[in-house]
């Protein structure tokens, strides 16, 4: 045996040293490598610590833990994250305790990343070929063959494999968060809500707290507005423009100037350029420098966000066009009936408030969907759009209608529904026109079935129409019409309450009373 080999084999008698300090903080790239020694022999723990005392890999030292039985090791692995390597004895409290632990790690803890190296002093009890085939372990060593150098090689090989698997797993999780996050973001309509969602998703990808700022530059104006701010920067959300004195501004300005992302710890700025000539800077300040894998994931996310910003803009434009069409239709109907004044606008506001109050009261939860709550106000202004087909001599008559004229007048409900249904069928999904058709055709139906045009009763009448039925009558009675003077507020409320359960849905009437109790000025606002 050479001197070098003798020195290598005599590692058991080397002088002990204090282990490296424990540090569980910092980024995954800065933390110590966590290694668990599992053996029922105290001396094995001591000599293993001795042999690994100066070992480091990629600038990170080892953090060594000890367990003296299979059960103790299982509980430790269950409760302790990021164990990279288990040096595992086979024979402990039972002859196969180590083998059982190896199986439990994979099958019960579902930990496929931690590297498991079996060390045994009795190879005959657990033959290597059988163990390697039947158990998901990564190496098998007899204790007699583990010199200092061989143990070093075994540990470094295991850590290198763990790092590769860990990076793959983090990439998989990060990409999953990107896909899930981008899907959620497409469901957000408001730009500020969208921006806040972006910041939260970036924080999720980095697995850090949500401290960030999203700034937007329109074209080449040089004007940088703060769209959203979270965490420690939340106060910036109150600012219209990004303050030039803020510590993040130099890095954000550099990203806009160079038109590329900047990673200057602690300030990291993701730069996004959209096809609609918008430039977006997302600034985050994680507590540690970003690893390359995190940068790559964020760049992938930014590509998705650029498309999402453009889609959000297009969605906003389509939504505005749809709203403008609804308003134009309502204005057309009101133009011929100038005596109604601001009736449709008041109906719009009160219908929204009434639907929200009903939702708060917990009634008709299945019918008062988020879409309806969002759209009922604007859709309600279409309730009398069918009057475009009513002859002027009937529509504008200042006196009481004859039975024939009343029958002609009542056709506006069916006409309005027919017009709006045809338009709604040209658009996929639910739109303002969908609810507008429901309201136009159903707001003159009575809860007891004695209304028109189809004598629907109870909940067979769409809830949107049941709401607008109350609002329409409430507002019409309170204001002057060609054929009537305005009614006093008390008389209007008496009329409405007396017809609860007959003409009107009692739950809608109750919600109106609730609204007026909370705000007595409702209905008293002048035109």
396: number of Cβ within 10 Å: 14
> Residue 298: what are its φ and ψ, rounded to 5°?
-65, -35
d(C-alpha 229, C-alpha 242), whole Å? 11
CA gap 25, 72 in Å, rounded = 24
Rounded Cα distance between 242 and 280, Å, is: 13
Question: What pairs with residue 86 in β-bridges?
Answer: 36, 116
Torsion of CA 488, 489, 491, 497, to 10 degrees: 160
Q: Which ranges constitute the DSSP H helices of 10-96?
A: 42-51, 70-79
DSSP three-state, residue 284: strand
Contact 59, 27 (CB under 8 A): no
- Find the helix packing angle between 432-442 and 463-478, rounded to 10°: 60
d(CA 184, CA 109) in angstroms, rounded, equals 30
Q: Is 387 a catalytic residue?
A: yes
CB 408 within 8 Å of CB 391: yes
The DSSP call for residue 291 is: P
- Name residue 142's beta-bridge partners: 120
C-beta atoms surrounding 393 within 10 Å: 9
Query: Which residue in the list 387, 397, 484, 502 is annotated as catalytic?
Result: 387
Residue 281's nearest CA partner among 226, 214, 185, 331 is 214
Residue 116 and residue 136 in contact, taking contact as beta carbons nearer than 8 Å: yes
Q: What residues have CB less than 8 Å from 371, skipping those under 6 apart? A: 430
CB-facing half-sphere around the CA of 429: CA atoms within 13 A? 4
**CA nearest 436: which of 422, 448, 446, 454?**
422
> Partners of 33 in the beta sheet?
62
Given a contact cutoff of 8 angstroms between Cβ atoms, the answer to whether 38 and 98 are in contact is: yes
CA distance 27 to 205: 13
3-state secondary structure 200-243: HHHHHHHCCCCCEEEEEEECCCCCEEEEEEEHHHHHHHHCCECC
Q: Residues with catalytic annotation?
A: 387
């Amino acid at each position: 045996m050479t001197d070098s080999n003798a020195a290598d084999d005599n590692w058991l008698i080397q002088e002990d040293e204090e282990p490296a300090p424990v540090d569980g903080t910092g980024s995954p790239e800065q933390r110590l490598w966590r290694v668990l020694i599992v053996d029922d022999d105290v001396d094995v723990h001591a000599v293993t610590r001795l042999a690994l005392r100066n070992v480091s890999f990629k600038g990170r030292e080892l953090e060594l833990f000890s367990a003296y039985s299979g059960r103790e090791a299982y509980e430790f692995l269950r409760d302790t994250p990021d164990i990279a390597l288990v040096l595992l004895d086979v024979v402990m409290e039972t002859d196969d305790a180590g083998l059982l632990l190896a199986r439990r790690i994979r099958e019960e803890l579902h930990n496929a990343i931690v590297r498991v190296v079996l060390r045994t002093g009795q190879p005959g009890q657990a033959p290597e070929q059988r163990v390697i085939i039947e158990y998901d372990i990564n190496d098998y060593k007899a204790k007699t063959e583990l010199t200092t150098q061989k143990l070093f090689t075994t540990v470094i090989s295991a850590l290198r494999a763990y790092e590769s698997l860990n990076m793959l797993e983090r990439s998989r999780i990060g990409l999953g968060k990107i896909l899930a996050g981008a899907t959620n973001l497409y469901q957000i309509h408001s730009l500020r809500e969208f921006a806040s969602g972006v910041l939260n998703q970036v924080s999720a990808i980095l697995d850090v707290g949500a401290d960030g700022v999203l700034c937007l530059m329109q074209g080449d104006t040089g004007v940088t507005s703060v769209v959203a701010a979270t965490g420690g920067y939340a106060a910036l959300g109150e600012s219209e423009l990004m303050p030039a004195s803020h510590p993040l501004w130099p890095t954000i300005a550099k990203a806009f100037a160079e038109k590329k992302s900047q990673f200057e710890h602690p300030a990291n700025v993701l730069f996004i350029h959209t096809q609609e000539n918008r430039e977006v800077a997302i600034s985050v300040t994680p507590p540690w420098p970003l690893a390359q894998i995190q940068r790559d994931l964020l760049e992938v996310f930014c590509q998705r966000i650029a498309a999402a910003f453009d889609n959000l803009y297009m969605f906003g434009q389509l939504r505005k066009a749809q709203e403008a069409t609804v308003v134009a239709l309502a204005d057309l109907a009101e133009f011929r009936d100038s005596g109604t004044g601001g009736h449709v606008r008041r109906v719009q506001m009160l219908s929204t408030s009434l639907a929200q109050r009903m939702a708060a009261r917990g009634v008709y939860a299945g019918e008062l969907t988020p879409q309806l709550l969002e759209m009922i106000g604007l859709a309600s202004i279409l309730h009398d759009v069918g009057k475009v087909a009513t002859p002027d001599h009937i529509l504008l008559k200042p006196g009481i209608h004859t039975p024939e004229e009343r029958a002609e007048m009542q056709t506006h409900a069916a006409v309005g529904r027919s017009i709006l249904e045809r338009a709604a069928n040209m658009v996929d999904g639910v739109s303002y026109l969908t609810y507008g058709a429901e309201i136009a055709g159903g707001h003159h139906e009575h809860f007891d079935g004695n209304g028109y045009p189809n004598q629907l009763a109870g909940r067979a009448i769409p809830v949107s129409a049941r709401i607008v039925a109350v609002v329409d009558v409430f507002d019409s009675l309170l204001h002057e019409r060609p054929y009537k003077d305005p009614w006093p507020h008390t008389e209007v409320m008496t009329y409405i309450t007396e017809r609860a359960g007959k003409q009107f849905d009692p739950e809608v009437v109750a919600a109106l009373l609730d609204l007026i109790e909370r705000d007595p000025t409702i209905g008293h606002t002048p035109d």
